[in-house]
Amino acid sequence: MRSHLKTFLLLTVVVAVLIWFGRKLDWVHVWSAIGRTNKLYLALAIGCICLTYLIRAFRWRVFLAPFTRPKLGELFAATTVGFGALFIIGRAGELMRPAFLSLRDKSVPPVASFITIAIERIFDSAAMILLFSVALMMMRVPQGSDAANFERIRAAGFLLLGAAIFGTICLFMFRLYAARIINWFEARTNGGRQESNKQSLIQRGLKLLTGVLRQLDAALGVLTDRVALAKSILWTVVLWAVITFAIFLTLRAFALPLGVTETIFVMGCSLVGSLVPTPGGAAGAYEAATAGGLYLLLTIKPEDALAVALVLKFVSFAPALFFGLYYFMTGGVRLNRLRAATHADEPDDAAHIEGDTVQSSPGDNRVAARI
C-alpha cells in the first residue's frame, strides 16, 4: 500500500511539473520539430544504444568471472529484458535482469547475479559523476544565460568530483579492511545477553548492518583484482563513450549547436530524471529534467527542448523494449517465475550471502577464499 501511495504521489508531482512546463507550449511546433529531425542520425543513435547492451554484457561477464562464466548471448538477453522492464515498470525493473539471467542460465548463482548488479551500479555511478562534474566545470556560459547560475553550477561540479574521489577512496579502504570491520561488528552482534527489547532491537540492527557489510565486501572484490579492475574500467569507459555519442547524435538530429560538454550535461539531466521511481522509465520526470536542462540552462526554446526530451527517451529505451520482449517471449521464462525469483532471490538478508555463494556452484570456492 505504501509503495502504491508513493508512486501515486510521485506521479502527481511529475504531472504537475509537466503541466506547468507545457501549459504555454505550442504543441504543433513540438511535433513539427520531431518530424524535421535527421532520421539518419537517429538511426545511428539507436544503433549505438543497441551496442551498449552488448558492451554491458561483456562487462557483466567480467563481474561474474569469480562465480561462473555464462554465455554472452544469455547476458545480452538478460540485459535487454532488464532495461525493457525498466522502461515498463520503472526502477523496480532493475531486479528483472539478474533474476532473468539466473532462470535462463542455471550456472549463474542467483546471489552472484544480484551482487554483480550492485557492482555495475558503483562503476556507472562513478563514471557518470565524473563525466557530469567535469562537463559542468568546462561548460561555457551560453549567450543569454545567467552567468551567476553557471558559476554555482561549476562549484557544484567541483563538489561532485570531490565527492566521487572521496567515495572511491572510502570503497578501496573498506575493501582492504573489510574483514576487520565485519569481525568487529560480529563480535558486538554475538556478544552479551539480550536483557531488554531495546537491546534486542540493537542486536538485530547490528546483525543487519553486518550482513550489508558482507554483501558490500563481496561486491567490491573486483577492486582488488588488478586484471578484473582494468577490464571493468575499460568496458565502463567504452560504454559511456558510446552512450555520450548516441546522445550527441540525437541532439545533432535536431541541428542543435551543442558540443560534447553540453551533451554530457544533457545526459546528466536525463539520468537525474530517470532516478524518479515511476513507471514508463521515469515517465514525465525524465522528460521534465531533460527539457528543463535544455531550456533553463542551455537556452533552447521550450518546444524544441521538449521535442528533444521525447525523442531522446525513445532512442534510449525503444531498442531494449524490442529486444527484451523478443527474448522474454522466446526465452521460456514465465512471468510468475520471474516475479517470484525477483522477490525470493534478492539478497535482502545479506548475512547469509557467503554461505549461499559457496553452495551455489562449483566455481564459488574461489569467491569464498577471496571473501
pLDDT of the residue at 364 = 40
Structural contact between residues 258 and 298, judged by C-beta atoms closer than 8 angstroms: yes
Structural contact between residues 294 and 309, judged by C-beta atoms closer than 8 angstroms: yes
Say how far apart CA 253 and CA 85 lie, in whole Å.
27
Say how far apart CA 120 and CA 125 lie, in whole Å.
8
Print the SS3 string covering the chain.
CHHHHHHHHHHHHHHHHHHHHHCCCCHHHHHHHHHCCCHHHHHHHHHHHHHHHHHHHHHHHHHHCCCCCCCHHHHHHHHHHHHHHHHHHHHHHHHHHHHHHHHHCCCCCHHHHHHHHHHHHHHHHHHHHHHHHHHHHHCCCCCCCCHHHHHHHHHHHHHHHHHHHHHHHHHHHHHHCHHHHHHHHHHHHHCCCCCCHHHHHHHHHHHHHHHHHHHHHHHHHHHHCHHHHHHHHHHHHHHHHHHHHHHHHHHHHCCCCCCHHHHHHHHHHHHHHHCCCCHHHHCCHHHHHHHHHHHHHCCCCHHHHHHHHHHHHHHHHHHHHHHHHHHHHHCCCCHHHHHHHHHHCCCCCHHHHHHHHHHHCHHHHHHHHHC
Q: What pLDDT tens digit does each residue of the chain (371 aa) get? A: 455 565 566 556 656 656 665 666 677 888 888 999 999 999 999 999 999 999 999 999 998 887 788 889 999 999 998 888 887 777 667 788 888 888 888 888 887 788 888 888 888 988 988 888 888 777 776 666 666 767 777 777 778 778 878 888 888 888 888 888 888 887 777 655 555 555 667 777 777 777 777 767 766 777 777 888 899 999 999 999 999 999 999 999 999 888 888 899 888 888 877 776 665 555 667 887 888 788 777 778 888 888 998 899 889 888 888 888 888 777 656 555 555 555 554 444 433 333 343 333 334 434 433 33
Find, among 327, 268, 281, the residue nearest to 53 by Cα. 327
Say how far apart CA 127 and CA 178 lie, in whole Å.
24
Structural contact between residues 97 and 82, judged by C-beta atoms closer than 8 angstroms: yes
pLDDT of the residue at 356 = 40
Chain CA centroid to CA 346, Å: 17
CB atoms within 10 A of CB 212: 17
Structural contact between residues 293 and 266, judged by C-beta atoms closer than 8 angstroms: yes
pLDDT of the residue at 215 = 67
pLDDT of the residue at 7 = 56
Type of residue at 341: A
Say how far apart CA 318 and CA 50 lie, in whole Å.
10
Find, among 257, 262, 319, the residue nearest to 290 by Cα. 262
Structural contact between residues 319 and 42, judged by C-beta atoms closer than 8 angstroms: no
pLDDT of the residue at 233 = 93
pLDDT of the residue at 350 = 38
pLDDT of the residue at 346 = 43
